[in-house]
Amino acid sequence: MSSNNTAHETAPQFAAHVFAALGDHTRLSLIEKLSDGQTRSIAGLSVDSHLTRQAITKHLHILEEAGLVISTKVGRESQFAFKPDTIEEVRAYLDSVSRQWDDALSRLRAFVER
């Protein structure tokens, strides 16, 4: 939980930032599309959406700023690609929360059983 955190946020701040980016069904569907490893242009990502290209563009920039996606400009179009690192960091964060829960459970169990 640090390599992508360029803004020197604390772990929860970073996680909240990424969660906020994931907390929109349009953005989440963009992530799902790109997680197949293929690279897509803005027009390509907008084609089967009822939203405007500008709306998709805004969502992509939010995803990029959160570190979930990366873009490179090739020719007249900018290609967007999934960036799995940040997802991994967020998974690790959720693991830490779950681990605290599991530890609390086992402490409780030990207390009950003695």
Partner DNA sequence: CATAAGTGCAACCTCCTGGTTGCCTTTATC
Partner DNA sequence: GATAAAGGCAACCAGGAGGTTGCACTTATG
Contacts to DNA by CB under 7 A:
24, 26, 41-44, 46, 50-55, 57-59, 62, 73-79
Asked whether 33 and 40 are in contact (CB, 8 A), the reply is yes
**Which H or E run includes 78?**
strand 77-82
Total residues contacting a copy of itself (rule CB under 8 A)? Answer: 38
Provide the edge-to-edge strand list for the sheet that holds 77-82. 40-41, 77-82, 69-74
By a kind-dependent CB cut-off of 5 to 8 A, residue 85 interacts, out of a copy of itself, DNA, none, with none
CB 84 to DNA: min, Å: 22
Tell whether residue 65 is a contact of a copy of itself (CB under 8 A): no
By a kind-dependent CB cut-off of 5 to 8 A, residue 53 interacts, out of a copy of itself, DNA, none, with DNA
**Alpha carbon 101 to its chain's center:** 23
